């Protein structure tokens, strides 16, 4: 298993992995997607961490470092899109990706990391708690637009 940041040539593998996150198929590879992918990969504050096994991407999370004017101008990190391929779950891969995200956040001087999940499954919530997150300090609100 290799834990690393995404590379430009990983786009299709990541899109395939994301089918295990949402019940939607792989989007069409059009100019908009190609442009967005380039923008993401080139953004120094946008980190997609992946676990690679047997030559394919099998787990991932996104960690975005967000500049901040409060807390002594210390940035914070936001974690999203945590996913593991169904055939590779329960092997510590997502935990390893989250740990790499934490290393990035620490190296960037972040004072906190935030993670939202849509899951209400107690096992999923315990997974995030075991990874060092808590559900007591803040209340999250979502406004879909």
pLDDT of residue 24: 82
Range of the domain at 17: 2-130
DSSP code of residue 87: G
Q: Considering the domain boundaries, does residue 99 fall inside one? A: yes
Is residue 53 helix, strand or coil? strand
* 68 phi and psi angles, rounded to 5 deg: -150, 140
| Domains in the chain, number | 1
Strands 113-115 and 2-5: unpaired
Residue 69 domain-assigned (yes or no):
yes
pLDDT band for position 134 (cuts 50, 70, 90) = very high
Q: Pick the closest to residue 61 from 112, 120, 21 (CA basis).
A: 21
Those residues whose C-beta lies under 8 Å from the C-beta of residue 54, and which sit 6 or more positions away, are: none
Q: What is the CATH number of the domain that holds 60?
A: 3.40.630.30
In a domain, 142, yes or no: no
For residue 105, tell me if it sits in a domain: yes
Nearest to 54 by CA among 91, 95, 104: 91
In a domain, 119, yes or no: yes
Neighbouring C-beta atoms of residue 115, cutoff 10 Å: 19
Q: Tens of pLDDT along 55-92?
A: 999 999 999 999 999 999 999 999 999 999 999 999 99
Q: pLDDT tens digit string along 90-112?
A: 999 999 999 999 999 999 999 99
The whole-number pLDDT of residue 45 equals 98
Domain membership flag for residue 140: no
Sheet holding 2-5, edge to edge: 2-5, 46-53, 56-66, 76-84, 113-115
What are 10-39's pLDDT values in tens digits? Answer: 999 999 999 999 878 898 999 999 999 999
């Amino acid at each position: 298993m290799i834990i690393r940041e995404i590379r430009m040539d990983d786009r299709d593998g990541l899109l395939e992995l994301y089918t295990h996150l949402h019940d939607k198929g792989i989007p069409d590879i059009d100019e908009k997607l190609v442009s967005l992918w380039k923008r993401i990969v080139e953004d120094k504050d946008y980190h997609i961490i992946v676990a690679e096994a047997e030559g394919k991407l099998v787990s991932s999370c996104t960690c975005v470092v967000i500049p901040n004017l409060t807390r002594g101008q210390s940035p914070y990190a936001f974690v999203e899109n945590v996913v593991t391929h169904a055939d590779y779950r329960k092997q510590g891969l997502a935990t390893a990706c989250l740990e790499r995200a934490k290393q990035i956040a620490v190296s960037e001087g972040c004072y906190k990391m935030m993670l939202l999940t849509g899951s209400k499954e107690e096992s999923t919530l315990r997974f995030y708690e075991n990874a060092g997150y808590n559900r007591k300090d803040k209340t999250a609100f979502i406004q879909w637009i």
